[in-house]
């Protein structure tokens, strides 16, 4: 997520626009609405990683990697991040797989209530298949 891809963080409809070159089909950009919790996390990350004076703000990632040459997260990164999050905060223990199950529940409930389209369900199924390979 690059800073230049974030829009309206302080407005009514904050969103993240993923450029076409980074989407699966490489043909169309994808707009992701950001919920208040996501906006708070992004704002905290932006505050931590303020650019140096004169540095191009938009061309920096919101959350920088410790490994500059790494372009894609390794499969164990999510588990390690969750473990650190649990150690540093007073949260009820959870795993990345719990997040996948929660997302599946939300999507299926949205389908049942007519909020989510069939297309969204298919998109989630592709994401879900990928998450299962990452989280086991």
58 and 103, same domain (yes or no): no
pLDDT in tens, 6-57: 999 999 999 999 888 888 788 888 888 998 888 988 888 888 776 666 666 6
Closest CA to 71 of 132, 21, 123, 126: 21
pLDDT in tens, 49-67: 766 666 666 667 777 655 5
- Those residues whose C-beta lies under 8 Å from the C-beta of residue 85, and which sit 6 or more positions away, are 91
Of 23, 46, 64, which residue constitutes the final position of a domain? 64
The residue segments making up the domain with residue 7 are: 1-64
Task: Give the separation between CA 124 and CA 20, rounded to whole angstroms.
Answer: 19
Specify burial of residue 110 (Cβ count, 10 A radius: 0-12, 13-18, 19+).
Answer: middle
Of 31, 46, 64, which residue constitutes the final position of a domain? 64
15 and 33, same domain (yes or no): yes
Is there a contact between 6 and 16 (Cβ–Cβ < 8 Å)?
yes
Of 42, 64, 86, which residue constitutes the final position of a domain? 64
54 and 83, same domain (yes or no): no
74 and 131, same domain (yes or no): yes
pLDDT of residue 54: 62
Is there a contact between 97 and 136 (Cβ–Cβ < 8 Å)?
yes
> Per-residue confidence at 136, pLDDT binned at 50, 70, 90?
very low
13 and 42, same domain (yes or no): yes
Task: State the Cα torsion 61-82-14-118 to the nearest 10°.
Answer: 110
17 and 60, same domain (yes or no): yes
Is there a contact between 100 and 61 (Cβ–Cβ < 8 Å)?
no
Statement: the pTM of the whole predicted model exceeds 0.85: no
24 and 1, same domain (yes or no): yes
38 and 18, same domain (yes or no): yes
76 and 134, same domain (yes or no): yes
Q: What share of the chain is helix, strand, coil (3-state, %, to 5)?
A: 50, 10, 45
92 and 119, same domain (yes or no): yes
40 and 80, same domain (yes or no): no
Q: What is the DSSP letter of 58?
A: T
84 and 60, same domain (yes or no): no
**Total count of domains within the chain:** 2
Task: Give the separation between CA 46 and CA 112, rounded to whole angstroms.
Answer: 37
């Amino acid at each position: 997520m690059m800073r230049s891809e974030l829009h309206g963080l302080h407005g009514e409809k904050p969103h993240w626009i993923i450029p076409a070159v980074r989407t699966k089909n490489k043909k169309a950009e994808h707009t992701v609405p950001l919920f208040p919790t996501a906006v708070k996390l992004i704002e905290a990350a932006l505050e931590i990683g303020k650019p140096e004076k004169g540095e191009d703000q938009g061309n920096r990632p919101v959350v920088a990697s410790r490994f500059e040459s790494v372009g894609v997260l390794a499969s164990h990164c999510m588990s390690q991040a969750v473990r650190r999050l649990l150690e540093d905060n007073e949260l009820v223990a959870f795993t990345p797989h719990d997040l996948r199950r929660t997302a599946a529940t939300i999507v299926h409930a949205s389908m049942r209530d007519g909020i989510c389209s069939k297309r969204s369900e298919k998109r989630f199924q592709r994401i879900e298949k990928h998450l299962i390979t990452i989280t086991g």
